[in-house]
Amino acid sequence: MRPRIFITQPIAASALERLRGIGEVEINTDPLHIMTKAELVAAVRGTDFLYCMLHDRVDSDVLAANPRLKGIVSTTITPADIDTDAATRLGIPVTALPSVMLDDATADLAWALLLAVARRVVEADRLVRGGTVPGSQSCYLEGGAVSGKVLGLIGMGGVGRAAAERARGFRMRLLYSDPRRLPAPEEQALGLAWVALDELLRASDFVSVHARLTPETRHLVGAREFACMKRTAYFINTARGPIVDERALIEALREGRIAGAGLDVYEHEPDIPPELAALPNVVLLPHLGSAVRELREAMAHVVVDNIEAVLAGKRAPNCFNPGVYGK
């Protein structure tokens, strides 16, 4: 009997073709529909592999619907919304993606947000579409300078390094804060200076978050941290939403304690507080970090590779819960 594979949203056609060559595939074809818990439970009952996205929440109830799953294969680097402990107890491998795959795309998007919020690109676009075109030297849409300013990077993994490389083209002074300091030659090569988090916040014109979400980094940036920042500074987050206390960010933006923010991630995705959406000094994106056509296709093929390995009786090359093989 051919293995059954359920995919929670559309994927690249070339990867889908590979999957149909090895199994019976069922797919939610609506890219705007995030499957509910009840839908996931129903899907899991009739499948061998659950192919899920970052936004899918696979908790113990979903797993209990089919404890004989052969695998949960995801397109995330850190499957925070998958109960990996429960999956391990059931002997179900959970696979992720190599983090290096997303470094460039995420850094590119961080820069898109940084430039958009500083130069008020989204506000200007709305104004023009509404029929208002201020004079070419009107003061109405004056924003913040980028070139020659200070960029503070919170977290210096692959995305942080990629963001630093891009900043050098803007002649920026680069600060970073990370519990693990880079070797001196690497700091020198990237033009980085390590500082404590509070010093980074006080000195930076732009603060960009690139840390991993862990119990230690949850609400790493809150009211106290926003109070440290310059009133003219901008805050960028393309990492994970819960790293930031979203209520504190809203208050900082509303009260003008910081100049603006560019966000691709939120504390309770996909829910975005209406108070945040109503603020004019924030640019909001729907978690587009990996939304590059070529990258998404490559990601899908990594998932297929993981499924093929499991079916061949091999260890999945990108297994997130290797303890499952100890069973």
Task: Map residue 57 onto helix, strand or coil.
Answer: coil
Contact 150, 166 (CB under 8 A): no
What is 197-227 written as a DSSP string? HHHHHHH-SEEEE-----TTTTT-B-HHHHH
Cα separation values, 245 from 44, 136, 324, Å: 34, 38, 34
Contact 94, 320 (CB under 8 A): yes
Q: Which tokens go with 298?
A: 């490559």
Task: Map residue 313 onto helix, strand or coil.
Answer: coil
What phi-psi label fits residue 82: left (phi over 0), alpha (psi between -120 and 50 degrees) or beta? beta
DSSP assignment, residue 323? G
- Where in the sequence numbering do the catalytic residues fall? 240, 269, 287
Which residue in 242, 249, 241, 259 sits closest to 225, CA to CA?
249
